[in-house]
Every structure is written in structure tokens, then in C-alpha cells.
Amino acid sequence: MGGNAGIRGYLIQTIICILDALDSDNKWSEVTLEPLDESEKVDIRWVYSDKVKVCQVKSSQNIIRLTDAKKWSNELITNSPNIEEYELIVVGHPEEKLLKSDSIGKVKISKVQSLNTDNLIDIASTKIDAYYEKHGRTKMSSKVREILVKTLAMHFGTNSITGKEVTREDFDKQLLDWISAIERQIETNPFAVLASPAANESKPFNIRIAEKILELIGWTNFNENIALKIYNDKTEEDDEFKVDFFGDFESKLKSNTDDAILVTSIHDLTYPLSSKKEIQHYHYSSEKIFDDLQLKNKIPFKRNSSTEYHNILFWLTTENSEVNQDFIHHAKDNYRKDWLNEEMYYYLVDNNKAVFLISSIVTAKNYREDLTVKFLYPITEANQSPGQIGKRGTKLPAQFINSSILPIIKESSNKISILIFCSDSFSEDSLKKLIWLTIRLTSGLGNEYLLYFSDYDEIENKNIVAEVIRSFDDEILEDKIQVQKYDRIDAEALDGVLATSNSLVKNENFDELKTQTQLKSKHLNEAFVNILPYGDIIKPFLKTDAITANDMKIFLAKKGIFVKSADRSKLISLMSVLLFSPKELEDFKTLIDVKDRPVNTINEIFQIKQNESLESVFKRIRPNFDNVTENLNTKLLDTPVFKPNPSNPNEYILDVRTERKDPTSQVSVNTLWGRIEIICTKENDTLVVNRVNTVSREDKVIAKRVMKSVESEFKQADFIKDETIKIMFKSFKDNIDRVNFLLSFTNITSSTIFKEPEIKSIKFKFDDVEDIPEAFKDKKDKDLITYFSGRNLSGINEISEDDFKKVLLLEEIYITYKYDHYNLKNGFYSVKYNFSDALKNKPEKDGVFKSEPNLYMSSQVKKLANIDLFKRELSKEIERIKLEKLKQFNIIE
């Protein structure tokens, strides 16, 4: 049996079992689907008080012959002897002779003349109603019935994997519990409300959901249920392929281009653990439809010179706990390159993306509700429109179907409102970038700008908003911007908006030319770190050598956009018409293979005088950071504040970004940004301060100034002792002790993350006050610093001998570890432990101990949902190992 036919047959078998289980005349006590202790011919086994019945289910799109039925009946009896009752259930198109047969020997013949699983679900739904009434309940809604049948199908299907029996008592209790639970869930589930069926409507749940979303985004008059049957000579049956919707319109983001759109929808009660089979089937089916459309010359279109193809999958669930779930992260690896079409752009819309899209449009509909919702089409090189704010219309661009930024316009003849929705959490940084984007998109011509975040809190965040708006130094802008909270969709909001007729709203246009000279934004901060680049602005970044085509594909996949091609020009063409949220751009920056030197970490340790929580101490102190950038060509982009680590109450973190201008470069690359992180951790009676900063001299100076101010406040508050423990090259009693300290980082048996350390290089000089081994005496009088590099340097015999260690001024050791973390196995993480070029320091050899970690950015790492968090966790483990070694060598207690 072919793949499609096999899946259909298995589903039909499961639904048949449900139909019989619900039959009021069926007095069964136990039922098993695919029982493991029966022959493979038995699909269903029923146990009654006085007998056992075994059933085989056969389904086919072709004519089912009497001769085949006789063969199956004989096999059923032969392979399962000594059974009281046998039944063969044929589903599809029995020939006339078979239709007239009620039995073949001892085998009862039952006929179901429908292969349509939706029709079978409808039959099961009516039987559930009767079952429900029999148990003293009133009739349930069609939504509940439909979901319940699917739940039963999933339940029986899961049990069939292990051949588990279902008792009548358990079945009755489970079913009634499910009915009650589903009814409660349906009352609040937004997708269920969105897909409420009309009277006597028989459309499947997934189709109704997708249809309502298409209506909200203006994709009307699409063809429905595009199906194709192809004869399979291997199975001698027709394979059926389909997509749910197909339509087209002129591209909103590219001139002289048509967009052809295929839409497929999947509805599940909950997301599956694996999505491979469903995604493979979706790709294969939509590809067959695409080929057929080309064969029939329905595509490409002739309106414009080119046609782009967009293939969209809505995969939604009605489990309330999954309403905001990011399923794209789990499914993206199943968009395999060999399944994709070179000409197609693929988009996956999961619960999280759909909720943002619907919530934004519903919120926009409810604002100035007498006006039409229009989507703003950003002006780029691809769709130039001189003299306009930007094109806009009632159709959402296909490329925005799973966007994290959604620009909407509500306009009348004398007022234009710009509504920008962002799926990121509210923050000072996000707001700055969103304001920049708003001004850039509209050329400052909006009468009012409403910026929406789902978690914005007016009371808690209003001062941040005021400060950010003032930073643009534009009085006109201050009067026009509002920040608001949009509510994630709920049943009540959807009921209200879906009841509104589009014919009642006004579709007016704002007079741009009349007011163009009155409103003009004066300032746009072009620093990359403060903007949300799109269109022509993002192209210079995408064209740099630091960004590979594979980086772009990985980034797009995280958004739920998939392409087969690794053609840079095609990828840049797509990315330059998209809008990116601040969080997405931060994630993108972590993918870029910038050839900068790695960050380094320096530890300072203080003895605590009194046992007080860090929360209490930071509430008491008032460090002054006003002059930390004095005489430096660098500015802080964030307010320097120590904030508690939510996952560790004994840790406070300062994290600020820095900006330094390079006047020799173009605007697009003239800003060098850095990051300073200072982590204060309380370990028993010890305060450990880690300064994490880039290698720029300015960032080091700023970090040191910040820490000096904090240290002074700590001492004034009588929290720490005056003496600072700083690990220096000279901190060790002799050369042997220092060598052993650095070599100890190859002993990581306490780590649950790192394994298999390998020394890659060492940097040393011979101590001229010691007796040098004969083999190295020629270097004694020379001021040489020696590097050993290569594989398995830990195997060098001399480095393990005390006589050699005694004469060795070992300054640096570079170790590569393997790690197992998250679902990544045998990844590589390198750390350089050194004493800051102590051997070059004159007149005295000394330098502070620091570590420089470096994560190998494999393709698997780049696919992680949060690379920055992953780096932090690995770095935190290295810091734990460092503390362990400092205690081992009695540097700290």
C-alpha cells in the first residue's frame, strides 16, 4: 500500500473502531485496535461477556471484488482460529456481487460506502450526540463533537501502537470527561471561535480556521480544495493530492511582479512530537498541485513580467496551553532541502505566529472602527513610489504572513493613524528601534503613531517611554507617539470583530500632498544598533563576506520561512522586503561570522564582611556612573544598572552596549558596537566579580571605571573588606604552582557539560634564574617567548615533570573541550586561559588572569532558538570551573 493510501487506511480503521464503539447496540466490554497477541490480519478485537469478535478493515479507492473478500475472509479464519465471531469491514466501492453478500462462510460482511474521512467523522459526530444524550446530557455543539472525534482517533491510534486494551468502563468515563473538558476549552480557545461553523456547514475545522484568517488578511476569492488524483501503478490505486486554497494578486512589495499563493492547513488537538511525516506529505502534495497548475498553463501569470510562488502551511492546535507555542523551532529541520522546490518560498504559520497576526488585525479593527484596516507596504528599491508615504492596501503581503512586525494604517481624508505591532517583549531598546522604523516607513507623515507590545504596562513603563521619545529630540514627534498594549486574541474579542460587516466601514485615503510639507521628522539615528534596517538599508550588511548564504537560510528558517536555493542574490532579494523585530535582528547578529577577537573574562574577588543579600546591598548603594566614558570616543547605549538574575537571587548583572564611531567608513558600517557585562555573584562569604567585555581598549576602561565605583560603594556600605583578591601572574608561590594551576583546567571531571579536553597550544618562556635543561640552554639568554601548538599537547612528557615545570614561565594555555548540552552532542568550545601578556610586561613580568572563551558556530548551533542564552550557559560553566580551581589552589576559601 502506498504512503497516502496507507495513512488513509489506518485512519479509516481507527474511525471504524470509534463508530462501532459508539453504537448503542454494541454491548462490548473491551476493545483493542491492532492487538499484539492476534495475527496481523486482525485490526480490531471486541470482547463481550459471552464471546470474542475479531475484525479486519479493508479500504480501497478501486472496486473491491468478491474474490478478494473471500480471500481476506479465509485468511482471517485461518490465522485466528477458535474465535466465536468474525467480521470483514470493506470501505469504499464494493462490486455488486459483494454488496449482495451479508456473509462469506463464518465471516460477517459489513459495508461502508465512503472513503471520505471527513464524512466518516461527521457520522461519528452524530453518534457522539446520541451517546451524550443517552448519558443524560443535552446536545453538544458541532465544534465539540468534531474535536472529540479527533481526540478519540488520536487516543485509539496511540493505544494501537502498543496493542493496549480499552475497557468499556474506562471508555465511558474518559469520553464524558473529555466532553466536559473540551466544552470548557472551546469557550476560551480563539481558533475554535474563529472557526465557528455556520448552520449546516460541513467544512472541516482546519479549512474554517484558514478561511477566516484569509478573510482577515484580505485574501478573498481564492480557489478552494484544489485536488488531483494520479494513478499509482505500484499500488494500482489512485493517490490523491490537494491544497486547501490557491489564489494570486499583484505583489505588494515588488513592482511588475505577481504573487501566486498555495495554502494548506493542518489542525491538531496538540502538536505532535515529530512533524516529519506531516511535512513530507504536505510538500509532496503541494508539489504535485504546483506541477499540475504549470502543466495546465494556469501559472505563471501574464499580468506582469515575473511571478513569485509562495507556499503557506497553517499548522494550528486547539489546546489552550499551546496557543502561544513556537512550533516552528521544532518543525524547521523537517523542511528538508530535497523536499523543497527551487522556485518556491515556503512559510510555516504556527499558533504563535497566527495569534500575533490575528491579535494585531483585531486590535486595529477596533481602533477607529469605522475605517478599513490597510496594510502598509514599505517602499524599497523593489517597489519605488516617489512622493508617497508608502503603498497600502487591504491585502497582506504574502511575505508578511508570519512576520513579527506588522505595520497597519487607518486613514480618513484628513487624518492618518500609523499602527505598528511588534511581537517582541517591551524594552527600551525595542521601543527605540520601533520608533526609528515607524519614522522611516512613513517619512514622518503620520498624524499619530501607535506602537503596540503585548506586555506593555503603562504604570511600570511610561517613564521609559518618555525618555526614549525625548532622545529623538523632536517636539513634533513627542506629540504624535503613543505606546499601547495589544491584547492577545480571546473569544470575546473575536466574536465582536467577526460580527462586523466590511460593508459598514469606510475606505478613505489621506491627502498626503496637502500635508507633506507640514510634518517632517528631523532626526533619524543611523547607528545600526538603534535601527531596524530593511530594504535598501539592510542590503549592505547582507552583502558582506561575514554573512554567508547558509546564515541567511538558517535565520529565515527560525522565522518560519524556507527556501531551497543558496543563491545569495535571491536570498537578499527576499530579506530586503521583510521587516524584522529587534529580537530577530539580535539573533541574526549572533549568526554573523565576524572575525573579531573573542571576548574575555577577568575575575576580581572580595571577602564579604557581613552576611547580607545582594538585593539588600544594591538597594542601599548609589554608584555614580556619570563619568565612566570621560575622554573616550565611546558612548553607552543603555543606562548602566545592575539587575537581579531571575534564575539566581545571589547574582546581579550589568549589561550595556557601547557605540564607537569610525569616521573613515560608510554610514552602514561606521558604527562599531561593543558590549560590557559585569556579573556580581555571592558565593558563601565571597563576592566574585566577572568583567566580561570586548577587546577594545575603551570597553575595558569603562568596565574598570564602573567596577571601581561599585567597589567603592560596597566598601562604604561595609559589605566587603578593603583587600581585593586579584589573580595575577605573580600570585603563585613558584613556577610549578602556576603551571599546575593552568594544567588543572584539563581536569573537568566535575562538569556535566564539558568533556574530552585537549590542549591546543601553550605559551611560555624559560625562567633565567633557574637551571635550564640542556636541550633548551641555547634559549636561556634570549628574550624569546615560545609557542607550542598542535594536537594532543597534553601528551608532552616534559610538561608533566616537576623539573621542567620549575623552569617554565607558563603564561597561557589554550584548551578545546567537547560539550553535550541541550540536544547538541560533541560540540566544540575553546577557552584560552592566560595572564594578559605577562611575559611582555617590563620591568616585572606580571599580568591579570583572564579567560577567552570561543564557541564554534556549527550549523546546529546557528539553528538554536536562543544562541545568546546558549553561550551564557556554557560561559557560566567555565566560570564555575574557574572558581573550583581557585579554591583548589587556595587562592580563595
Question: What pLDDT, on a 0 to 100 scale, did the predictor assign at position 592?
Answer: 62
All residues at 6 or more sequence positions from 399 whose CB lies less than 8 Å from its CB, including other chains: 253, 310, 345, 574, 577, 578
Asked if 101 and 66 touch (Cβ cutoff 8 Å), the reply is yes
Question: What pLDDT, on a 0 to 100 scale, did the predictor assign at position 215?
Answer: 92
Query: Which value, to the nearest 10 degrees, does the dihedral of the CA atoms of residues 167, 170, 175, 176 take?
Result: 140
Q: For the ranges 131-140, 268-277, 349-358, 817-826, which has the lowest average pLDDT?
A: 131-140
Q: For the ranges 104-108, 405-409, 484-488, 701-705, which has the lowest average pLDDT?
A: 484-488
pLDDT of 620 strictly over 70: yes
pLDDT of 284 strictly over 90: yes
Class for the domain spanning 600-723: alpha beta
Asked if 421 and 405 touch (Cβ cutoff 8 Å), the reply is yes
Confidence of residue 516 (pLDDT cuts 50, 70, 90): very low
Question: What pLDDT, on a 0 to 100 scale, did the predictor assign at position 353?
Answer: 94
Question: What pLDDT, on a 0 to 100 scale, did the predictor assign at position 766?
Answer: 83
Question: What pLDDT, on a 0 to 100 scale, did the predictor assign at position 183?
Answer: 63
Of 786, 775, 835, the closest CA to residue 808 belongs to 786
Question: What pLDDT, on a 0 to 100 scale, did the predictor assign at position 637?
Answer: 77
Winning range, highest mean pLDDT, from 80-94, 96-110, 392-406: 392-406
pLDDT of 58 strictly over 80: yes
pLDDT above 70 covers a percentage of the chain that reads: 77
Residue type, position 574, single letter? L
pLDDT of 243 strictly over 60: yes
pLDDT of 777 strictly over 70: no
All residues at 6 or more sequence positions from 244 whose CB lies less than 8 Å from its CB, including other chains: 206, 207, 210, 224, 225, 226, 263, 264, 265
Of 175, 209, 189, 490, the closest CA to residue 321 belongs to 189
Question: What pLDDT, on a 0 to 100 scale, did the predictor assign at position 492?
Answer: 47
Q: Residue 238 phi/psi, 5° resolution?
A: -80, 130
Task: Please give the residue that has the higher pLDDT: either 182 or 366.
Answer: 366
Confidence of residue 519 (pLDDT cuts 50, 70, 90): very low
Q: What's the rounded mean pLDDT across residues 810-838?
A: 91
Question: What pLDDT, on a 0 to 100 scale, did the predictor assign at position 677?
Answer: 87
Question: What pLDDT, on a 0 to 100 scale, did the predictor assign at position 400?
Answer: 97
> What does the pLDDT look like over 108-139, one tens digit per residue?
988 765 666 666 666 666 666 666 666 666 55
Class for the domain spanning 3-187: alpha beta
Q: What's the rounded mean pLDDT across residues 487-497?
A: 56
Q: What's the rounded mean pLDDT across residues 689-693?
A: 75
pLDDT of 820 strictly over 60: yes
Question: What pLDDT, on a 0 to 100 scale, did the predictor assign at position 352?
Answer: 92
Q: For the ranges 133-137, 310-314, 737-741, 762-766, which has the lowest average pLDDT?
A: 133-137
Winning range, highest mean pLDDT, from 264-273, 511-520, 614-623, 783-792: 614-623
Q: What's the rounded mean pLDDT across residues 428-448?
A: 87
> What does the pLDDT look like over 244-263, one tens digit per residue?
999 999 999 998 999 999 99
> What does the pLDDT look like over 559-568, one tens digit per residue?
999 999 889 9
Write down the mean pLDDT value for the chain: 81
pLDDT of 593 strictly over 50: no
Rounded to whole angstroms, the Cα distance separating 260 from 486 reads 32
Asked if 704 and 678 touch (Cβ cutoff 8 Å), the reply is no
Question: What pLDDT, on a 0 to 100 scale, did the predictor assign at position 518?
Answer: 41
The rounded radius of gyration (Å) of the Cα atoms in the chain is 34
Question: What pLDDT, on a 0 to 100 scale, did the predictor assign at position 403?
Answer: 95
Residue the block writes with cell 614561565: 809
Q: For the ranges 64-73, 378-387, 434-443, which has the lowest average pLDDT?
A: 378-387
pLDDT above 90 covers a percentage of the chain that reads: 35
Q: For the ranges 390-399, 472-481, 511-520, which has the lowest average pLDDT?
A: 511-520
